[in-house]
Amino acid sequence: MPDETQSPLNHLLMKVNKPIFAIQTDNTINFISKNFDFFTTGFKENTGSRILAFVPAVRLESLGDESFKKRHKLKYPYIAGAMANGITSAAMVKTMAHNGMMGFFGAGGLSIKKIEENIIDLKTCLKDMPFGFNLIHSLGDPDHEMATIDLYLRHGITRISAAAFMRITPALVYYRIKGIYRDSRGWIVTPNNIIAKVSRIEIARQFFSPPPEKLVALLLEKGLITQEEADLSAYIPMAQDLTAEADSGGHTDNRPALTLLPTMMALKNEFMATYHYREPLCVGLAGGIATPESAAAAFGMGAAYILTGSVNQSCVEAGICDDVKKILCQAEQADVAMAPAADMFEIGARVQVLKRGTLFPLRAEKLFKLYRSHDNFDDIDEKSKKEIQEKFLQAGFEDAWKSTKDFFLKTGNMKEIERAQNDSKHKMALVFRSYLGLSSKWAIQGNLKRKMDYQIWCGPAIGAFNQWVKGSFLETCENRKTAEIALNLLFGSCICIRASILKAQGINLPMGTGVFKPMKQKEICTFL
């Protein structure tokens, strides 16, 4: 059976930098890709033909929003999203920058010292090339959040990805408005950029609004900002760019992209009309982007950029063990589940994880239910206590508490220790949270003794990606490179868009037209 994806028409569609003309002569439709002026001259000489359709060039560089790309000095509107504990590694960030895109180092869950080491590495290597670091909301440890921001400001990190925030915090405001000034033209310059990752409209409103006056006043009172910085803050949004986070891995509300993105874009327009910001607000899309069709759909709906996460975790540059990468390469869309989050365990926050090949989702859920229904570990039934200690913790409860306590001592978080010593329910929560936190580290380290406890953050996108690359060189994790995958998705989306333009003009396309299978980066470059 012939491969329709290799048809002459598909070949023309792949020449994304050149227009296509559908010409009807008698009963035949021909597709031609030539210089427009040359073609029209020829057309005028042939009165027996007529143009049925025209497809413009759709360059990779023309995708997304120009203001977003200009703001961040990007060639392509593509971000490799931050995955905590260094899963989005320095190597991944570097390869994205060198290929005209941007990556955010996964600083969440790492010590200040470790984050600083990677800052120095990336600044030394990339210099002025675009990159960033992430900041996950530290609900139980605002001091760590502020310390991380202090570190970013000290080292001149001008882009952060703010994730899992339920409200604007002093640390975020401090980062955003520190160093703002008016230039010689009277325009406000904001050195520090926040790209907020949100899935809820009420949170998006906070990020599109100017910094809260109360928090600005607090920072001014503490002497962290100047009066000028405080005054100018009223004219800028907390975040110029916002990522609408749909059904993603890790922290997620499982929002459908088809409803979330239009809502966030409408909100963007509302705030631009209200505040008249000098620089345009931009909305990108994350969650579920794993194929050329999904990327094309995002851009078709008006996304300023796209952000990927799950598909990058199986790449060679990802800071996670090879065993996990192989598991991810076998995953299907239904192989994911929601589980309690370690960082916001008590309030019931959840993360999307892989359930294939691990018992973590089931075990984490059991721990959360027991926490909600008991005030003390000793009150739990004997069967459950035995299971938790022997299989989950693999230690007695008090030994697990000692290890947990030692962790907080090392991080200097005495508040948690003091509270736990006076509150048995909180003590239980911290021990249970330690299991959840360690489970992600076991996956990163490749601790085979704890393989059944691996916590692997990912969404259904990984299954869609695996299906798309099946039978290609990208089927195995050894061949998966972040930038190469990104270029495949962007290039493929251009082909999909061009095929859709033909369809919209009434052209009945043969089966397989517009379908794109993965290609080596060198091959893609021959069409650009």
Instruction: Kindly report, residue by residue over 511-521, the tens digit of the pLDDT.
Output: 899 999 999 99
Cα–Cα distance for residue pair 303/298, rounded to 1 Å? 5
Average pLDDT, integer, range 60-80: 98
> pTM for this one?
0.93
Please report the domains of the chain, with CATH numbers, ordered by start residue.
69-325 (3.20.20.70), 359-455 (no CATH)
Query: Token pair for residue 229?
Result: 């910085």
Q: pLDDT value at position 35?
A: 56
Residue count of the chain: 528
- Of the two residues 30 and 44, the one the predictor is more confident about is 30
pLDDT of residue 347: 87
Q: Does the pLDDT of residue 39 top 80, yes or no?
A: no
Provide the percentage of residues in the chain whose pLDDT is more than 70.
96
The pLDDT of residue 129: 97
Average pLDDT value for residue range 220-234: 98
Give, in order, the Cα–Cα distances in Å from 213 to each of 119, 147, 183, 194, 236: 31, 22, 23, 18, 12
Q: Is the dihedral of CA 215, 216, 218, 223 positive or negative?
A: positive
pLDDT at 95 over 60: yes
Distance CA 435, CA 453 (A): 9
Percentage of the chain modeled with pLDDT above 90: 85
The continuous run of DSSP H or E covering 284 comes out as strand 282-286
pLDDT at 38: 41
